[in-house]
Structure 1
Amino acid sequence: MHPILFVGIAGYPARVVKLMTYSGPAAADAPGTRTGGMPYAPSDFEWPRCRECEGPMQFLAQVSMADVELGGVGLFSAFMCQNDPGLCDEWDPRAGGNRAFIFLADVTGTLPPPGDGVTLLDETCAVDFEQVDVEDYLDAPEQWCERSGRSAREVLGQIGGRPAWLQNDETPSCDICAHRMTFVVQLEEGHDHRTSMNFGGGGCGYGFRCHTCATAAFLWQR
């Protein structure tokens, strides 16, 4: 079942929100959409390092584009420096403290992390998808909690649709073609503070892609 789309504000399509919800622990090499674990990547891919501290970044999540859009191909993957949290401008899409990638048909398997730095989350989380009939993602967790009887902490984010900004709209433009990027995923910090991502304590991460150039970008707000 696919949600109905119609033209909304700020150039984004309004739609039924597609929530990502916690579905228990997963294997570190589980295929498809998940948070944590090891990234699927091309055989010649090199683990990204922070431009500021030069340490390897932490792998946050991968999202199957087939889960985001009908006929979607490839994986979106996000990394962020956690070697010196807050010191490497990891919230900015261009400062060098995070990286995002679109991997297409050249993905061959999972990539083990380098031996130094903070590279993996403490838990790999499987993801379920739940459609909630609201226009704004910020209204969706409460409705889902009422319907499911589960905690709002088990909402891991949303995919597709439009971002729900905690501050101003910071949709990035592609570095190659300069066109406004398309929203892929909004990530919450996680269901358990002991194993969660670090978006400043209560923030959200935002992932984008350029369909034309197969580039990607990531940032977070709090």
Structure 2
Amino acid sequence: MPLAPAGTTWPQYATCDGPMQFLAQVLLDDLGRHAGQGTAEGRDVLALFMCQNDPGMCEEWDPQAGGNRALVFPAAALQPIPVPTLDEEDDQEPVLLGAVSAVAYEMPSTAADYGQACNEWAGQPGRAPLDVLGQLGGQPAWLQNDETPACQTCARQMRLVVQLKEERDHATAMNFGGRGEAYAFACEPCTQAVFLWQC
């Protein structure tokens, strides 16, 4: 369930007039502690939403097309956003994933990059590459071209908050085009965020 300041309305996509699906929420304080950066002040959370009413038609992979939202909220006084109700005859996808995914954080690897760290982790007994759900902070491991955004307010390059994979459990998996990966960036001083995915 997404948390936001009182009065926040559920994000909708203007073209299909449908509510977006809530994907994940990340405490930016976690980014500072776990990524070893120590710069986050614990004041903000990042909430990610994406249109799934007609996958592929709302250009939900594009950071500028309006098919997704990355919203930064102050951490104080958050409460659940009222969930929109869908008509029984409505063809829209659910606004929440089918189940909550329990995620464990692994301490940063000494590997040179994200791909090498995934392979190193999965090489241990009882672990599979599909169990890795992404990374918190660090450098994005692009599947295609580098699309690191600049903040529209201050023009500085945004930093990666989280990179997400689809996951193998269909009940909790996000739809990034089939084995795709998503990237969420933020400029904390400007409280701006960007979300996109590649496959």
TM-score normalised to the size of structure 2? Answer: 0.87
The answer for the alignment partner of 1:181 in structure 2 is: 158
For the Cα contact (< 8 Å) 1:156–1:191, is it kept in 2?
no
Name the count of aligned residue pairs.
185
2:48, 2:195 within 8 Å by CA — same for their partners in 1?
yes
Assess if the C-alpha contact under 8 Å between 2:45 and 2:73 holds in 1. Answer: yes
What are the equivalent positions in structure 2 for 1:1-40 lying under 5 Å apart? 38-40=1-3
Identity of aligned residues (%): 51
Pair 1:57-2:20 in alignment: yes
Distance of 1:101 and 1:77 partners within structure 2: 5
Q: What residue identity is the alignment partner of 2:31?
A: V
| Structure 1 segments unaligned to the other structure (5+ residues) | 1-37
Counterparts of 1:181 and 1:77, CA distance in 2 = 16
In 1: Cα distance, 2:150 partner to 2:77 partner: 25
Out of 76, 82, 86, the residue aligned to residue 52 of structure 2 is: 82
Match of 1:215 among 166, 184, 192: 192
- Aligned counterpart in structure 2 of residue 132 of structure 1, from 90, 106, 109: 109
CA deviation map 1:22-69 (0-9, x unaligned): xxxxxxxxxxxxxxxx11111111111113212100011111112111
How far the C-alpha of 1:133 sits from its partner, in A, is 1.7
SS in 2 for 1:93: coil
Q: Secondary structure at the match of 2:123?
A: helix
Quick one: structure 1 residues 190 and 172, their matched pair in 2 at CA, closer, same or farther if it must change by over 3 Å? same
Q: Which residue of 2 aligns with 1:196?
A: 173
The structure with higher relative contact order (CA 8 Å, sep 6+) is 1
Query: Residues 9 and 82 of structure 2 are in contact (CA less than 8 Å); yes or no, is this contact kept in structure 1?
Result: no
SS at match of 2:65: coil
> Structure 2: where are the runs of 5+ without partners?
33-37, 87-91
* Superposition TM-score, scaled by structure 1 size: 0.79
1:147-175 residue CA offsets vs partner (Å, 9 max, x unmatched) = 35222221111011110000000011222
2:134–2:162 Cα contact (<8 Å) kept? yes
Deviations 1:117-172 (A, max 9, x none): 43111111122111222121122222111235222221111011110000000011
Larger mean Cα displacement after TM superposition, 56-65 or 139-148: 139-148
1:143 aligns with 2:120: yes
Inter-partner Cα distance in structure 2 for 1:52 and 1:148: 47
CA distance in 1, matches of 2:52, 2:24: 14
- Between the aligned partners of 1:92 and 1:178, the Cα distance in structure 2 is 19
Asked if 1:121 corresponds to 2:97, the answer is: yes
* Contact 1:40–1:107 under 8 Å retained in 2: no
* Bigger strand fraction: 1
Report the counterpart of residue 89 of structure 2 in structure 1.
none
Q: Distance in 2 between matches of 1:135 and 1:123?
A: 33
Match for 1:206 among 183, 188, 192?
A: 183
